Amino acid sequence: MDRVILHCDLNSFYASVEELYHPEYKNVPLAVGGSEQARHGIILAKNQLAKKYKIQTAEPIWQAKQKCPNLVVVPPSFDKYVYFSNRVREIFQEYTDLIEPFGIDEAWLDVTGSQMLFGDGKCIADTLRMRIKEELGITASVGVSFNKIFAKLGSDYKKPDATTVITRENKHLIVDPLPVEDLLFVGKSATKALHACGIYTIGQLANTDCAYLEKVLGKMGKMLWCYANGLDTSEVKPWGYKEDAKSISHGMTTKRDIRNVMDAKMVLSLMAEEVTSDMRIQKVVCKKVCLFMRDVNLRVFQRQCVLPKKTQCASDILDAVMKLLSKHYDFEIPLRSIGIRVMDFESEESGRQLSLFEDAIHDEKGEQLEKTVDLIRKRYGFTSIKRGSMMEKTDLFD
């Protein structure tokens, strides 16, 4: 028997919540945007009227206002969004315990076992939409299908406030003509590679030889072929399920541009403290570190390296990223944001290779010091203790 998977997507989520609390914004083009003063001035969400002006999520506010001069931009109120997201999940929990969130405003639900109680997939989807609309005043699109990938395609197919059912029978009518970039996990570079092979629709992808796709896109090729053919068998995780983190990253868009190595070191030392603090909470050590940067022209790039030893110590991470920075960046173009990602984790209990040349006692002292800083921050807040050097360039931080 086929599974019945729902994918529920809250339409223009942030903007809908703002409209609900400010009914006067219902008939104007509205966007939720970050603070332009703090240089987070991008569009986070927009309502249906703003969509007509082709305003895109993540575009700068100034650009959006050029497209639509009377665009109303309101600051985000994340507390409210989290509240609404939790309320929606409470509604889901009345129908199934297999709920896998995908961001704050999307989730998959496996309702295969709930149909005897609440009706078939479409019936449950319609009930969910109706309840979300009536109880919370926002709308949702729901896709119903026999796997997670097609359910997600279904929720994107018709918006707002609609249910789309994709079955094995109507798959060729709904899914096959869709552009290949609509498929989950087909990003910019995969789209480019597929277009170069003459593959423009999901149907064409499904009918391409799997071995050929594997040759072009590697492992990803086989995965996408399976997705396009409705062969995704991944399960909807039970509510509360937590996967072990594969990487931890912290980045920051600074108040002014990062113009030289000293500026960068200041920000990176803070980021190193944050990632290592998270690693200690998760009781892991990392073997690889990645430095990611965005320059003032919004070009993004990253460089990574393997660490000489497994660590959860901020100074080791900082040393590694500073080496990467000086090797790969000359600051001809200032940076707008910078950050650190750590990955390739092992449990902190897994034992460490001692170095012949470095001082293990010194390392242990460093770690002990950082753990103590964690304790102080846990008790008195993150800003209660900071490096003396951080006091110098306060114009970089909020």
> Which residues sit at the interface with other proteins, rule CB under 8 A?
20-23, 83-84, 87, 133-138
Residue 201 one-letter amino acid: T
Question: Residue 17 or residue 206: which is nearer to other proteins going by CB?
Answer: 17
Q: What share of residues in the chain are helix, strand, coil (percent, to 5)?
A: 45, 20, 35
| Nearest distance from C-beta of residue 40 to other proteins, angstroms | 26
Distance CA 210, CA 219 (A): 10
Distance CA 161, CA 168 (A): 23
| Nearest distance from C-beta of residue 135 to other proteins, angstroms | 4
Q: Which two tokens stand for residue 203?
A: 């149907």
Q: Which residues contact 64 (CB under 8 A, 6 or more apart)?
A: 31, 33, 43, 46, 50, 53, 55, 56, 71, 73
Distance CA 9, CA 27 (A): 23
Residue 32 one-letter amino acid: V
Element at 267 (helix H, strand E)? helix 261-282
| Nearest distance from C-beta of residue 105 to other proteins, angstroms | 16
Q: Is the dihedral of CA 158, 163, 167, 170 positive or negative?
A: negative
| Nearest distance from C-beta of residue 19 to other proteins, angstroms | 8
Given a contact cutoff of 8 angstroms between Cβ atoms, the answer to whether 312 and 284 are in contact is yes
Burial of 159 (0-12, 13-18, 19+ CB in 10 A): middle
Distance CA 286, CA 276 (A): 9
Question: Residue 87 or residue 299: which is nearer to other proteins going by CB?
Answer: 87
Q: How many CB atoms lie under 10 A from the CB of residue 245? A: 14
The vertex-118 CA angle with 116 and 119, nearest 5°, equals 70
| Nearest distance from C-beta of residue 21 to other proteins, angstroms | 5
Question: Residue 45 or residue 271: which is nearer to other proteins going by CB?
Answer: 45
Question: Residue 4 or residue 88: which is nearer to other proteins going by CB?
Answer: 88
Question: Residue 23 or residue 388: which is nearer to other proteins going by CB?
Answer: 23
Q: Is 106 a catalytic residue?
A: yes
The vertex-380 CA angle with 379 and 385, nearest 5°, equals 115
| Nearest distance from C-beta of residue 118 to other proteins, angstroms | 18
Question: Residue 25 or residue 397: which is nearer to other proteins going by CB?
Answer: 25
Q: How many CB atoms lie under 10 A from the CB of residue 103? A: 10
Question: Residue 74 or residue 226: which is nearer to other proteins going by CB?
Answer: 74
Catalytically annotated residue among 106, 273, 274, 370: 106
| Nearest distance from C-beta of residue 35 to other proteins, angstroms | 24
CA-based nearest residue to 203, from 222, 182, 177:
177
Residues recognised as catalytic: 106
